[in-house]
Structure 1
Amino acid sequence: MKKLTEEEIYKKLEDLQDWEFKDEAIHTSFRFEDFKEAFSVMTRIAFEAEAQQHHPEWFNVYDQLQISLSTHDAGGVTEKDFTLAHSIEKIVGNEE
């Protein structure tokens, strides 16, 4: 999988609300009603990530979830990261 250039990354980020590029990864965060809702969404994302064979780095405290995506084998952001990011947005309900 080919690592995307910064120009390609910023262009693709135009289609993702509240995602940013820094430290060779794309990042976002979500806030939910409570821990149960956050964990439910994390579980749904986990099943999708497994299906795509691409796994996020994430951090959860109570109702907050922070997600970072990069393709370690490529040393940065690839199309795989954007595919998973769009899937995450659909799961969370931010994308139709």
Structure 2
Amino acid sequence: MAEVLQETQVKEMASEVPDWKVEGKELKQVMKFKDFVTAMDFVNKLIEPAEAAGHHPDIAISYNTVTISLTSHDAGGLTEKDFAMAKQISSLK
């Protein structure tokens, strides 16, 4: 199991994913797309990297808006895995 990062580590790693916000024990990003189909196409791109990493984001979809939340549930907070997945997701845009 991955170790929960200390607050200073979280701040440092958050600077590497500027499109993401730390909210409590989650790393979160809200993305808007031109329409529902484009939003769903993006969500479908998340399947392969999430499966490969064994680390699955929480996803909320509202028409053209996709909210992605990352946390390491088993560790009880943010770990390096969350930041690695955030970088991968950001590269898919």
Normalising by structure 2, report the TM-score: 0.94
Name the % identity: 33
4+ aligned runs moved over 2 Å, structure 1: none
Higher relative contact order (CA 8 A, sep 6+): 2
SS at match of 2:74: helix
- Whichever structure has more helix as a proportion of its residues is 1
Give the number of aligned pairs: 92
Counterpart residue number, 2:18: 17
Counterpart residue number, 1:28: 29
SS at match of 1:73: coil
Cα offset for 1:19?
1.1
The answer to whether 1:71 aligns with 2:72 is yes
**C-alpha distance in 2, partners of 1:83/1:46?**
15
Structure 2 spans left out of the alignment, 5+ residues? none
**C-alpha distance in 2, partners of 1:7/1:60?**
31
Counterpart residue number, 2:8: 7
Instruction: State the Cα RMSD in Å.
Output: 0.8
Counterpart residue number, 1:53: 54
Counterpart residue number, 1:89: 90
**C-alpha distance in 1, partners of 2:91/2:19?**
14
Structure 1 spans left out of the alignment, 5+ residues? none
